[in-house]
Chain A
Amino acid sequence: MEQKLSAADEKIISDLLPKKFNRQGYVWIGILLAICAVGVFAYYRQIRYGLVVTGLRDYALWGLYISNFVYFVAVSLVGSLIAAVLRLSGVKWATPITRISEIIAFAAIVFAGISIMLDMGRPDRFYNLFIYGRLQSPIIWDVLVIVTYLCFSFILIYIPLLPDIRLMLNHPEKNPKFLNKIYSFFGEFWHGTEEQKAIRNKAVGVLTIGIVPAAFCIISVDAWLFATTYRPGWDATSSEAYFISGAFLVGCGSVVVAMYVFRKYYGLEKYLTDSHFDKMGKILALLAVLYVYFNITEYMIPFFKLKNSEEAYLNSLLLGHFAPVFWFAILIGMIIPICILVFKKGRTPLPMFITGIMVVIGAWIKRYLIVPPTLLHPFLPMHNVPKNYTTYVPTWEEWAISMATIAGTLLIVTLFTRIFPIIPINELIEERHEKDNQ
């Protein structure tokens, strides 16, 4: 950074530079690694013995893995909401939470891709998808958009991070040697000259505009994976809007949870203020209302027509076997959060944290309810099949692998906070200078 730093700037830098984990941090990392290790062992069993170790059978051929995939894709949309939509709208207050949303989006999209691989009985044949893949198949579109969105997400984190890397290189005594090497590799060339700043600003502008359609593409393709398959419950025309609204909601919920944890753990009350929670609460409430609306259209229209093929599926979802889980997801994922968030007290940090957790859990259950219930209600009745083909009960291997993907996502986010500042330091300082100049 070329400009002279004031004492206030130095205070921001010392507050926000990455800090070593304390005991709690190491315990947290240990738990995540242990979950990942169990998941790796379960995956070894899946590879060794085949998909028969899972609860997946001829009818429920998608289960936890694909539900997780849909969930991760949904969470990844938050990167574009906070970092792009709010930035393009000229919203300044969101600056401290942009990087949180970007890293959540990146970690989620990494594990969305991995989740697809986990669902494959023979992942070693993945390359066949490129050799024999058909352009008409939504599976190919999915592979393309995930890879593309992964690149966008990485660049979206990397470019705004350059000035902060320089800041960390300016304080080598505060970092372990290996981290200084990483910083040197990624950002030693940043000197904060006007020319470099101009290019960076232009790149950020291109990115923020480019990532919005890319993000909408990934969610739309995700929705098309289901909508282009003719089955009860998936045959909908508004599935893209339904998926996008749900994705914004769960992404926003995840950011709120992360904001609370980082604020508490790193003592960032000055940077992630009550006002941030209040504003995020309003956005969350709006998104929850929007998602309720799309849920009504998603289920009310088929329920109104009640075609024979849809009847059994809808009965099982709304009134039958899946009803308790379905209504639980609707309640904790949308209705209760709206009830909490309409009150100002509900938009303070702790209630927001609890609401965020409810939204995240509700959203995961909602993704699960998109997949197996439909597959267990085919157009032709199930005849002459073993009893376990008619239901879907995930095995411990599936749970372990799925939990490992969630732990892996949290691990990426956690390790990122150890290496890089979770709040963009340079942007905060620049904004402060702009305010002072005004």
Chain B
Amino acid sequence: MKKIINKINFAALLLLAGTGSVLAQEAKKSPLSVSVGYHLVNNQAQFVVATLKTKVERRFMPAEDVEVKFYLDKDSASGGVFLGKGKSNTRGRVSMAIAPTAQNAWKASADHKIVAMTAKTDKYNETSTEGSVIKTRVTLDTAEEKGVKMTFEEWKGDKWSPVPGVEFKLGIKRLLSDLNISETETYVTDSLGQVAGTFKREKLPGDEHSNIVLVAKFDDNDTWGSLRFEKTVPWGVVTKKEGGAIGRELWGGRFHSPWWLIAFTYSIIIGVWGTVFYLIYMILKIRTIGKSISKKK
């Protein structure tokens, strides 16, 4: 009897230990926060971006290498469309384009819901986040000399309607960021969904045709997501590429090596390989002499 009791006790201990470790594993899981946003570039490229964060030592850090599945209108009557899946990068971000295969569902309604879902993993519990998308568009009118007129509209019912009260930035695209077109930091759309700004960046370097790229944008708007619209205008100063030694610099292309380098290198190659061929000639000479001796013998 004692033996049986001991066995039961042992089994209970094992069970407790097992449960404890499972609970410990559950407790170890970090919280995962997922936000999803809609991005529109040049009224054409549409994509959704999920940003994943986790808490590490009381600080929010990007959650890397977590798989996220994206759905368009998942809870709708049609069951929605699976957009695709991806893994978060080092910045905890995953982006997914709204592919042509989802265009029928996209066109069916003026506004949509994007769902980003993560599965249960060793590190995190499963999550599901929703984000709303409203169809919008931007037009940039630059007919007036150095004047920028921008119109922002949303798709309502069956037509485009102006959206008032949205804060925009108007700028010029530079190498690593955008430069404002004037001292005004931001512009808010009026009742016609329009903002007007004046281009005040005189003598701004453009390309060889004086082109610069105007930008109208906003980032992470709660209702509209992120939007960027670009338009090329000839308002810059022509930049001519400074040529070095008639275009034959050390950093030039293959057929633009400097003359002195070509002459120097080929003279070495000819000298050295001339010696190699001379030595081969000598070997052949030894061989010919040897062969003639063998024949005589």
Residues of A within 8 A of B (CB): 132-136, 141, 144, 148, 151-152, 155, 158-159, 162, 188-191, 193, 195-196, 199-200, 202-203, 206-207, 210, 213-214, 217, 384-386
Contacts and interface: CB of A to CB of B under 8 A. Distances in A.
B20 interface: no
A144 B269 contact: yes
Nearest to A133: B254
Interface string B240-255: 0000000000111110
A206 B268 CA distance: 16
B127 to A, nearest CB: 23
B290 A199 contact: no
B45 interface: no
Interface stretch (B129-137, B143-151, B200-208, B277-285): B277-285
B12 interface: no
A188 B294 contact: yes
Given A195-B289, A200-B282, A213-B272, 14 more contacts: A133-B254, A134-B253, A135-B265, A136-B258, A144-B269, A148-B272, A158-B283, A188-B290, A189-B289, A193-B293, A196-B289, A199-B285, A210-B275, A384-B90
B261 interface: yes
Interface of B: 90-91, 250-254, 257-258, 261-262, 265, 268-269, 272-273, 275-276, 278-280, 282-283, 285-287, 289-291, 293-294
Contacts of A141: 265
Contacts of B294: 188-189, 191
Contacts of A155: 276, 279-280, 283
A151 B278 CA distance: 12
Contacts, number: 78
A162 B287 CA distance: 10
Contact of B276 (A132, A151, A193, A200): A151
B254 A134 contact: yes
Contact of B286 (A133, A135, A151, A200): A200
Given A134-B253, A134-B257, A189-B294, A206 B278 contact: yes
Per CB-CB distance, the 7 closest pairs between chain A and chain B, nearest first, are: A189-B290, A203-B282, A135-B257, A189-B287, A210-B275, A134-B254, A191-B293
A148 B273 contact: yes
Given A135-B257, A136-B250, A384-B90, A203 B275 contact: no
B66 to A, nearest CB: 15
B225 to A, nearest CB: 23
Most buried by A among B250, B257, B262, B272: B272
A206 B79 CA distance: 84
B278 to A, nearest CB: 7
Nearest to B269: A144
A151 B275 CA distance: 11
Contacts of B282: 159, 199-200, 202-203, 206
15 contacts: A135-B265, A136-B257, A148-B272, A159-B279, A162-B286, A188-B294, A189-B294, A191-B289, A199-B282, A199-B285, A199-B286, A200-B286, A203-B282, A210-B275, A384-B91
A162 B290 CA distance: 11
A143 B155 CA distance: 62
Contacts of B289: 189, 191, 193, 195-196, 199
A135 B90 contact: no
